[in-house]
Structure 1
Amino acid sequence: MDSLVSLLELAYSAGSVSVVDIMRLGFEREVQEERSWFSFLYGLCVHVADRVAYLDAIIQELEFCSNDVSIAQLVVELRSDDGLVFADSIMYFKAIRDFEAEKLENMQLFLQASGAHLGRRMQFLARFNAM
């Protein structure tokens, strides 16, 4: 029943009962949907890349403070066991950064696959429009 409703909706939206017009509109919608997905995925990749850069900056600052305790003492009051806190914090943020970097790599692979899929759909629509 859903297929029939979708077909009727496409026919109404196309303003025609011609199979060619209905199929063209259906293919155009598929391409439009794939483009919006690709755009969302690209934005998500940018967000994760920014997060990785942010985590790198935090790690660099913590390592700098850990290596030069006198600089850290200008900002915060340090106790004798705070060196361990720096080391734990660095390990914690590195683990998060490694996870985010791996996630980014996987998302970029998925983005490439989605781009190729979008390209194929656009080629098919162009061929169909040329008929």
Structure 2
Amino acid sequence: MDGLVRLLELAYSSGAIYVSDVMHFGFQREVQEERSWFSYLNGWCVHVADRLTYLDGIIQELEFCFNHMSEAQLLMELRSGDAIVLVDSIMYFKAIREFEAEKLANLRLFLQASAMHLDRRMLFVARFNAV
């Protein structure tokens, strides 16, 4: 029943009475939806890449403070045990960075698969237009 309702909705939306016109409209809608999904994924990749850059900056600052404790002591008061806190913080942010890097790699793979899927859909629409 859902398929019939979807077909009727497509027929109404397209304003066409011929099945070929309705199907053409449906295929075009699928391509538009896939393009919007692709755009969303691309934006998410940019967001995660920005987060990686931010985490890299935090890690570099923490490592600098740890490696140059005397300079860090000029800027802030250090207590005994702060070196351990710095090491723990560095490890924590590196774990987060590792997770985000893996997420970005997976998103890029998904983006690549989505691009191939979009290309296939566009080819199908082009073939359908030729009929």
Corresponding residue SS for 2:79: coil
Count the aligned residue pairs.
Answer: 131
Unaligned runs of 5+ in 1: none
- Is 1:21 matched with 2:10? no
Structure 1 residue aligned with 2:12: 12
Q: Deviations over 1:40-74 (max 9, x none)?
A: 11111111111111111100000001111122223
Q: Which residue of 2 aligns with 1:39?
A: 39
Number of the residue aligned with 1:2: 2
Give yes or no for the alignment of 1:80 onto 2:98. Answer: no
Residue 5 of structure 1: how far off its partner (Å): 1.3
Matched, 1:118 2:118: yes
- 5+ long unaligned stretches in structure 2: none
Give percent identity, aligned residues only: 71
Secondary structure of the 1:39 match is helix
Q: TM-score, normalised by structure 1?
A: 0.96
- Aligned-residue RMSD, C-alpha: 0.9
1:71 aligns with 2:71: yes
Aligned equivalents of 2:10 and 2:117: distance in 1? 23
Which residue number corresponds to residue 51 of structure 1? 51
